[in-house]
Structure 1
């Protein structure tokens, strides 16, 4: 536990050094929710809350995944088997605004008790890239979520650089939009992809 907290403190320190787009991938040695574990005793709520607070402080959110849910397995049999999603990819809004189609895959391996985390950082499809940067797309469904108002307020306040010129204002709008997209991806997933899948 002490080593885990030191790792998180190191990431906090690094995050405070600049405002660049960020993605962090690997074993965070903690779950976000009880549903991230199968078997064993219930995880400590306070430890999971500490992990969620750490991600929020750094402006990082889970990118989701495809593949098997749990990334760590103690390799024991029967009732002694414990599996947990300890490994994940998280990023900030600036990263997602550059690579909005980023995909995360969990890949099985026999050589380790952890799965491999494969990240495909994708901007847009080639024909979209040829037309220029991907525009911000607002989904009306976002406004019906209980956290919407507080999310927008937090994103706007968090994007404040302290500068008052027009360039700083435009940058603040862009960062807020990136944070909104990141929140929407975590809460809703890709609504358009879901609709397309239902129509198929």
Structure 2
């Protein structure tokens, strides 16, 4: 397949007078695969730590397109700390399991985007709400209030960990 980006995929003695570059790595497809995946292309991604480039085969799935239009799918590591993430993924794969890998993948991405949307973008507001709930029952010492306070503390701890992971990513 034709490749976008730098034309060479391997180099030796980078930055010296003996610097050699070659195109060693390639992507090979059949004509029938190319007919089915006519929007596919290969991107050469230069790496800092290896003498080989990384080749990225893009099939231009609708949920992965860049540029104008709907936001492309981006997995958020913070989702992994939420129990609902596993359920969304399992349900999406179960719903589309007979439609092939690409359809399952796209549907799963759309499902995660719907589920995670604003839920994981407004950490500050949700943390503030949980702290206000804690403050409202802080003066009480009855068993129900203590149990609720502990549950809120667990939720707050989890949410703060998710926020930390979100910003680190």
The alignment's TM-score, normalised by the length of structure 2, stands at 0.34
Instruction: Give 1 or 2: higher helix fraction.
Output: 2
- Which structure has more relative contact order (CA 8 Å, sep 6+)? It is 1
The alignment's TM-score, normalised by the length of structure 1, stands at 0.29
